[in-house]
Amino acid sequence: MPAVVRRRRRLSAPIRWLAAALPLAAAAVGCSTVPRAPVLPPQAGVPRETATAAATAAAATFPWQVPAAAYGSQILYRVGVAGPEGEGSLKLTLRLASPERYQAQAVDPLGRAVWGLDVEGDRGLWLDHRGHRYCRLSGALDLAFLPLGPLSLSALPPLLLGRLPVPPADPAIVSRGTSSAGGGGGSGAGGDTVAYRDAAGRGWSAALRGGQVVSWGLWQGATAAPILSWANSGSWSVLSDRRKGVEVRWREAVREPLRALVPMAPRSDYRQSTCTAAAAPASR
């Protein structure tokens, strides 16, 4: 069995997925690093002059989009997860060819394959190497144990790269503002803020500094605190699910030019399964 980092007992399905599939960071992020509850824009009927002008800017200026410079690169992340039921770690490689094409592959600390994801456009292939099974995705990564789901297949790269993983339902309806020094957008100097609703009606609020996302929160319903929060903490990224007491951390270890992608394919002994039944195992 792979090595365990201070294992207490086998991780449950939701934590196993987070450990294996989301390269995020843990560390208890203080409340000052989490965006305040967003003042969300209305769904319709608001002036759009400012938003229309912003829409003419370069795509990389939007905090929910991947910077153009990231395409054509291969990035290795160190990943750790901690929760009530244990801790684990793995290495995850993101191969980012274009907005329509990427791969993600996870291995345990001993270098053994755990899972793989191959995406082209709105279609993807999920490989569970330990379970010897696979499933084919269409349009969305809609796994029952993924707290952010359902997500479009394009959401994983911006999440890993420290951007907002889900775009607004309408980019022209986004609240923008500024935060003062020491305010809800993090410690130190103030910066910009954005807030919006996604296509599922959930509220997102983010703090930016110098055009870079430094923290974001996800609200659902009338909750006073975000159900999920992310923050940049030094060289680490941190995703915290306060409902489950789970925190996942990741940091970039190596970035290099991407060579040609080799399409992934299930081996002959892999069985096809439904993606909602998949459970990506963690390193343990």
C-alpha to C-alpha distances, 245 to 73, 82, 239, nearest whole angstrom: 33, 8, 11
pTM equals 0.76
| Separation of alpha carbons 70 and 44, rounded Å | 33
Domains and CATH numbers, the chain: 13-276 (2.50.20)
Tens-digit pLDDT string for the chain (284 aa): 444 444 444 444 433 444 444 433 322 233 334 445 555 554 444 444 443 433 333 344 799 999 999 999 999 999 988 888 788 888 999 999 999 999 999 999 999 999 999 999 989 999 999 999 999 988 777 543 445 556 778 888 999 999 999 999 999 999 999 876 544 444 445 689 999 999 889 999 999 998 899 999 998 877 778 888 999 988 899 998 877 788 889 999 999 999 989 999 999 999 999 876 554 444 45
